[in-house]
């Protein structure tokens, strides 16, 4: 059995033409006049035309009861649903908690850097100096990452 692409069968042009014609006629655009549509069948293919294709062409009246339209309301005047408002409040609480946590962490890092600076100024052994230098580098990296 030979399958046809859905858009090449005889029904697709008919459906497309009917939908377009009905939408144009129901849109109320005064430029469209009521015209007669003729439906002709030739060689098993249904054709719609504004002129009779064959002497026995029948007048076609589109069924506009199956076509629906949607008129969206203006969204600017509507408040957000309560669920969205609650989500926004939930996001604000953690943001304040995160800011407080970050400030505490920054204070701790800055205090540790001051302590390392004091130790380095007071004198230290080579081994102690290497350890302090590595610790200072880690803390400075942490301070930059935390935007302190």
- Asked whether the whole model's pTM tops 0.75, one would answer no
What backbone phi and psi angles, to 5 degrees, belong to 2? -90, 125
Residue extents of the structural domains in the chain: 11-65, 80-145
Is 58 within 8 Å of 39 (Cβ atoms)? yes
DSSP character string of 52-70: -SSTTPEEE---GGG----
- From first to last of its 148 residues, the chain has per-residue pLDDT tens of 455 555 555 555 555 555 555 555 555 444 445 678 888 887 888 888 888 887 778 888 877 777 787 777 766 556 666 666 556 655 666 778 888 888 899 999 999 999 999 998 988 889 999 999 999 999 999 989 888 8
């Amino acid at each position: 059995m030979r399958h046809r692409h859905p858009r090449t069968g005889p029904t697709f042009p008919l459906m497309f033409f009917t939908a377009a014609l009905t939408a144009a006629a129901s849109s109320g655009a005064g430029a469209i006049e009521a015209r007669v549509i003729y439906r002709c069948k030739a060689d098993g293919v249904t054709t719609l035309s504004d002129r009779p294709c064959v002497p026995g062409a029948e007048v076609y009246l589109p069924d506009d009861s199956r076509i629906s339209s949607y008129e969206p309301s203006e969204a600017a005047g509507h408040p957000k649903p309560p669920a969205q408002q609650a989500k926004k409040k939930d996001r604000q609480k953690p943001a304040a908690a995160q800011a407080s946590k970050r400030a505490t962490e920054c204070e701790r890092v800055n205090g540790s850097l001051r302590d390392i600076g004091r130790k380095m100024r007071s004198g230290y052994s080579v081994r102690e100096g290497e350890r302090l230098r590595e610790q200072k580098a880690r803390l400075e990296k942490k301070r930059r990452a935390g935007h302190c």
